[in-house]
């Protein structure tokens, strides 16, 4: 059984900073390798990545067996899949484009058991991966030990972030800086590292911290990741599997090409 103090939820609530790799390439081997190489968590992206339901389910098990925390980002509005992935053992779900209280409420409804939500019962695989033998034990801890993070990446979400964070059962927020940049510039630019977005990210982190909820963010550069940590973000994505591979290849081949 996973020790309660070692769950992703409790580590983040205790103020620990967790770095997650961002997995876009389908298949369980690479997420496992990323954990064994040092990442504490891997986020499996179904929205823009190549993952489908089967590859995420396989990758969740691989990440757990490697000693990491599996997280999944579902497609926009696909809250039914969010519930299924919790049943498969995901420890957190990131929901994109949460732009209103209504969006956040609909998301929470699918990922939390009554009375907070309407999640349907069927967590057999999650119980196996967590080493929980009794359904009652899982039921009593599931809502606290599985996280729902709503992505703040639109002008409407930024303007109502306090109301979104007030939704009972939403565990925190996750900043999508690319879409937020596009939204704030009315489609004129995509500058996730730009000052306007970084200032907005700081406001979002502060709002989450004020109410004791989790603040997460996707970072495109090491500078962004360090700045996010200084802002108070504790769940930080840096970097994607494709970026890691490119950086590794360059580190190997560039010195060789130079002779």
- Cα 39 to chain centroid, rounded: 14
| Residue 81 pLDDT greater than 70, yes or no | yes
How do the residues of the chain divide into helix, strand and coil, expressed in percent and rounded to 5? 50, 15, 35
Looking at the predicted structure, is the pLDDT value of residue 38 above 90? yes
Separation in Å, CA 177 to CA 59, 108, 182, 202, 253: 26, 23, 9, 11, 31
Do you know the residue count of the chain?
259
Given a cut of 60, is residue 2 above it in pLDDT? no
Which among 71, 61, 13 has a CA at the least distance from the CA of 237? 71
Percent of the chain with pLDDT over 90: 97
| Residue 207: pLDDT band with limits 50, 70, 90 | very high
CATH architecture, domain defined by 4-249 = Alpha-Beta Barrel (3.20)
Q: Kindly report, residue by residue over 107-150, the tens digit of the pLDDT.
A: 999 999 999 999 999 999 999 999 999 999 999 999 999 999 99
Say if residues 196 and 204 touch (Cβ distance below 8 Å).
Answer: no
Numbers of helices and strands, H then E, in the chain: 13, 8
Examine the residue annotation and report whether 48 is marked as an active-site residue of this protein.
yes
| Whole-number Å distance between alpha carbons of 85 and 73 | 10
Q: Which of 5-14, 155-164, 169-178 has the lowest mean pLDDT?
A: 5-14
Catalytic residue among 48, 51, 65, 69: 48
pLDDT band of residue 259 (cuts 50, 70, 90) is confident
């Amino acid at each position: 059984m996973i020790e309660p103090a070692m769950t992703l939820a409790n580590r983040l609530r205790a103020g620990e900073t967790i770095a997650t790799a961002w997995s876009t390439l389908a298949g369980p081997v690479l997420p496992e390798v990323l954990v064994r190489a040092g990442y504490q968590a891997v986020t499996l992206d179904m929205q823009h990545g190549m993952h489908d339901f089967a590859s995420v389910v396989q990758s969740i098990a691989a990440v757990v067996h490697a000693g990491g925390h599996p997280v999944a980002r579902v497609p926009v509005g696909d809250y039914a899949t969010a519930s299924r992935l919790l049943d498969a053992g995901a420890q957190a779900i990131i929901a994109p484009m949460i732009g209103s209280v209504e969006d956040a409420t609909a998301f929470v409804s699918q990922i939390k058991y009554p009375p907070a939500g309407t999640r349907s019962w069927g967590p057999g695989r999650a119980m196996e991966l967590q080493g929980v033998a009794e359904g009652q034990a899982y039921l009593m801890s599931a809502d606290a030990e599985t996280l729902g993070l709503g992505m703040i990446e639109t002008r409407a979400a930024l303007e109502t972030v306090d109301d979104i964070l007030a939704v009972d059962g939403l565990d925190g927020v996750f900043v999508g800086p690319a879409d937020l940049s596009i939204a704030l510039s009315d489609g004129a630019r995509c500058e996730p590292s730009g000052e306007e977005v970084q200032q907005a990210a700081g406001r979002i982190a502060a709002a989450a911290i004020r109410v004791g909820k989790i603040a997460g963010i996707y970072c495109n550069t090491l500078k962004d990741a360090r700045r996010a940590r200084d802002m108070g973000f504790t769940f930080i994505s840096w970097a994607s599997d494709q970026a890691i591979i490119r950086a590794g290849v360059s580190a190997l081949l560039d010195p060789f090409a130079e002779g």
